[in-house]
Structure 1
Amino acid sequence: MNTPLPNQPVRGSHSGVAIMAVFDLLGRKWNMRILWELRTGPQTFRTLQENCDNMSPSVLNNRIKQLADARLLATSPTGYQLTELGNTLMTTLDPLRAWASVWEKQL
């Protein structure tokens, strides 16, 4: 499966608009979970796999490749970690997380 990137058609949109590529990338199974787990710091492949409900190694490898192609994560001496772009994304999502908590309480 190709990595959704700006200026290319993605699932749900042929416009190439960057926000649609982000929604496609984050909406793919496990991608958001991987980013969430890495928000606190680097993790080895095995630790990341365990923290992501022991997903299969092939799926984890595929998702890591997608997120690395999108420049949201990279390898480090201690495993995998968010890049500057990945950290910025997670910070950008903080207000959405806060909104989701309010939404949850109102349901």
Structure 2
Amino acid sequence: MRLCIMFISVVLLMTAGLGSGYAHVVDQPQQDIPSYAKWGRLAMKETKSRYPDADIIDYLHQGREDQEDATVEKFKLWLREDSREFGVFIDIAFDSETEKVRNISFEETSR
């Protein structure tokens, strides 16, 4: 019995010191910024410019298409304007080396 009380006392003393002055730091892995983030921001900016009264309520990166000397980033944004909701497919074509934008196309969809 005496051994049990001693053990409990030691455990209590050890754990009591943990709360005062010691901080356990957990390293959180830094989230990588996706390669399409730059183009997603541009897609949202251009969509907002084209549909100024609409709210962008959803965003989806649909992929990247590599062509001979260009790259196309594809997005689908879901918009709400008054009581109407609709989707817009946005393709951003840019020079693969310089990343200079060549073309931005928009296509509305009901789905």
TM-score w.r.t. length of structure 1: 0.24
Bigger CA radius of gyration: 2
Q: Which structure dedicates a bigger proportion of its chain to helix?
A: 1
Q: Which structure dedicates a bigger proportion of its chain to strand?
A: 2
